[in-house]
Amino acid sequence: MRSTDNPVRSAARRSRRSEHRAFWSRVTEGIELQQLWGQFLSDAKASYDLYAKDVDWEKIEQRSKGRIGLVIRSVWALFQAMLMKLTPARRVLLLIAIVLLLVQVDIHSPNHEFSLSLSTVGVLIVFLILALELADRVTMKRDLEIAREIQVWLVPDHAPDVSGMEMAFATRPQNTVAGDYYDAFLRPGAGPDDARPLLIAVADVAGKSVPAALLMASFQASLHALASTPADLSQIVAGLDRYARAHSLEGRRFTTAFLAQIDTETREMEFTNAGHNDPILMRASGEVERLSAGGPPFGLPLFTESETSYGSGKIRLRPGDLLFIFTDGVVEAENDKGEEFGESHLLPCIQDAHSESAAATLQRVIAAVNAFVGQVRQHDDITCFVLRINS
């Protein structure tokens, strides 16, 4: 009988272990423990920063007497900051739960057949609050995913086909939706037989998440509406600035942008930099140029009756040239020491690109940023646009 039962019990144990491993794999999504710990530390730091912004640390230091008093007041202030993030009803529930957790009292039925600890009730209330917060988060996440899908529709999923040119681009939002924008499309030609100029745009709306994403969508619509007319680049720039000022909330939601129009036959490029990070143009010879001609960000309030005047630059692109356009999320990406990636790390990536493809250069830069940042949570949107002139 024993020899018959052992294989059965062994099979049952293997089945349970398999189920446990499958459960653990679902929970961790296959991530190693070291990476999970790194993510936890990153999340903890981000949460602390969120609550710490609502604390008057100077007042706490003035009122605290001794180190212990400082710790107690700091913990109490952080708890209040966390508490105020909840709805009023959930704040009351959480306070009740804390009181019940501290009270070591059991409630017994008259015949002592049933007993219930008040601390257990407190734990159940905490789980109830957690379930409510998770439900809100899931609902919001679903809405943000829909908004993200709409955003994806607004930017190109592949580069336009232009002979002798190669393009690659990528964006990674800090949250589900982003305030960064990139685009590349062929404008209508002046005549039926004229070559269609290529318009390139990379923009960054001040702020993050939904408000910035909404303005990004309006910026995209304005750009495409203006680009469909016979307007030249300077007129497009002026139109974008007028629209941005009308929707910038008195300058609080300004937009930095780099716009360029390229003659696809002569490779002549006219560009305007509206307060954006200076793109990097690496010539085939290895010489690096920065494209800074332009003006202030779009949407800043006017201090005179005349409109903001934007300058422009003109250059000729030659075979072997590489143009790298990026948003500030690239150079301001931070590691766990608070150090920024910076142009001191970015420039070598571009200079080492030489004659590799635009996609390879893009991958090189993204990999360098990821290696530098490690497990630290991303704090800004990251967008890169690479243009390689092959002939």
What pLDDT score was predicted for residue 307? 65
What pLDDT score was predicted for residue 214? 80
What pLDDT score was predicted for residue 1? 45
Question: Rounded to whole angstroms, what are the CA distances from 330 to 167, 169, 242, 368?
Answer: 18, 13, 28, 10
Token duo for residue 167 = 């393009």
According to the CATH classification, is domain 156-389 in 2.60.40.10? no
One DSSP character per residue, 87-143 reads -HHHHHHHHHHHHHHH---EEE-TTSS-EEEHHHHHHHHHHHHHHHHHHHHHHHHHH
Of 211, 163, 160, give the one whose Cα is nearest residue 183.
Answer: 160
Compute the distance between CA of residue 389 and CA of residue 319 in angstroms, rounded to an integer.
Answer: 5
What pLDDT score was predicted for residue 190? 57
What pLDDT score was predicted for residue 320? 93
Parse the chain into domains and list their residue ranges.
86-154, 156-389
Assess contact for 361 and 350: CB atoms under 8 A. yes
Compute the distance between CA of residue 69 and CA of residue 327 in angstroms, rounded to an integer.
Answer: 44
Token duo for residue 73 = 């007041």
Of 341, 334, 348, give the one whose Cα is nearest residue 280.
Answer: 348
Assess contact for 316 and 269: CB atoms under 8 A. yes
- The helix (H) or strand (E) run that includes residue 185 is strand 180-186
Which residues are 202's β-sheet partners?
182, 258
**Average pLDDT of each block of 10 consecutive residues along the chain (391 residues)?**
63 81 80 78 81 88 85 91 92 92 78 77 92 87 76 83 93 81 87 78 83 83 93 93 79 86 95 96 93 92 66 95 95 90 93 88 93 85 94 84
What pLDDT score was predicted for residue 305? 52
Compute the distance between CA of residue 299 and CA of residue 208 in angstroms, rounded to an integer.
Answer: 16
Continuous H helices in the chain: 2-28, 33-52, 57-63, 66-83, 88-102, 118-154, 209-227, 233-246, 328-331, 342-351, 358-373
One DSSP character per residue, 54-84 reads T--HHHHHHH--HHHHHHHHHHHHHHHHHHT
Assess contact for 347 and 129: CB atoms under 8 A. no
For residue range 273-297, list pLDDT tens digits in order.
999 999 999 999 989 999 999 999 9
Buried b vs exposed e over 38-47: b needs ≥16 C-beta within 10 Å?
Answer: beeebeeeee
Question: Rounded to whole angstroms, what are the CA distances from 361 to 24, 64, 381?
Answer: 37, 54, 19
